[in-house]
């Protein structure tokens, strides 16, 4: 198994990384690029906590090979801050107490951002369906949905 050089565009920055072909995207983000905002939970695609945006769409980075992510725009939770300002969805999560242990939060926020980018005024039902692939083990869903709806109202 030979290592290979790949170019990954993460949060708008290009990175040259030497990786093994069996490394998943979450492993490369956390271990090679030290972007530990992305969490690995189950590693089997069930919990959704490893969600990152690939060309604007939320995907499981634990089931994405890093070699496949070449040439695509990868956005992690670290990429949402611009000019030192938190993203409106992040602010709404803080204001509405939509964070308990915080482990699912990066995935919830990125999923919510992708939803709002696509449909800025979702119904509550649409918001619930959008985050249905991410598990909050603290079961704080009500506050999370409130925060998404508040961010959509801004």
- Written as six digits, the tokens of 20 are 């093994």
Look at residue 107 and give its three-state secondary structure.
Answer: helix
Question: How far apart (Å, rounded) are the C-alpha atoms in residues 104 and 38?
Answer: 9
Task: Tell me which residue of 49, 58, 120, 113 sits closest to 86, measured CA to CA.
Answer: 113
Of 38, 49, 76, 111, the one binding other proteins (CB under 8 A) is: 111
Among 101, 129, 137, 142, binds other proteins (CB under 8 A): 129
Structure tokens at 138: 């603290």
Near other proteins in 6-65, by CB under 8 A: 20-24, 27, 43-46, 48, 51, 57-60, 62-65
Task: Name the 3-class secondary structure at 75.
Answer: strand
Residue (31 or 95) nearer to other proteins, CB? 31
Size of the site for other proteins (CB under 8 A): 30
- The verdict on 133 binding other proteins (CB under 8 A) reads yes
Residue of 7, 119, 123, 132 interacting with other proteins (CB under 8 A): 132
Q: How far apart are CA 63 and CA 86, in angstroms?
A: 28
Give the tokens for residue 58: 């939320």
In the complex with other proteins, the residue whose CB is nearer, 9 or 86, is 9
Binding site for other proteins (CB under 8 A): 1-2, 20-24, 27, 43-46, 48, 51, 57-60, 62-65, 67-68, 111, 129-130, 132-134
């Amino acid at each position: 198994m030979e290592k290979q050089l790949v170019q990954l565009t993460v949060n708008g920055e290009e990175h040259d990384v030497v990786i093994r072909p069996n490394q998943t995207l979450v492993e490369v983000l956390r271990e090679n690029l030290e972007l530990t905002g992305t969490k690995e939970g189950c590693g089997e695609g069930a919990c959704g906590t490893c969600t990152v945006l690939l060309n604007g769409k939320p995907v499981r980075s634990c089931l994405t090979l890093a070699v496949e992510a070449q040439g695509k725009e990868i956005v992690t939770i670290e990429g949402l801050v611009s000019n030192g300002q938190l993203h409106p969805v992040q602010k709404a999560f803080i204001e509405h107490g939509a964070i308990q242990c915080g482990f699912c939060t990066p995935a919830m926020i990125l999923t919510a951002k992708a939803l709002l980018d696509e449909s800025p005024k979702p119904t509550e039902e649409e918001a619930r369906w959008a985050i249905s692939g991410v598990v909050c083990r603290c079961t704080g869903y009500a506050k999370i949905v409130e925060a998404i709806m508040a961010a959509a109202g801004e």
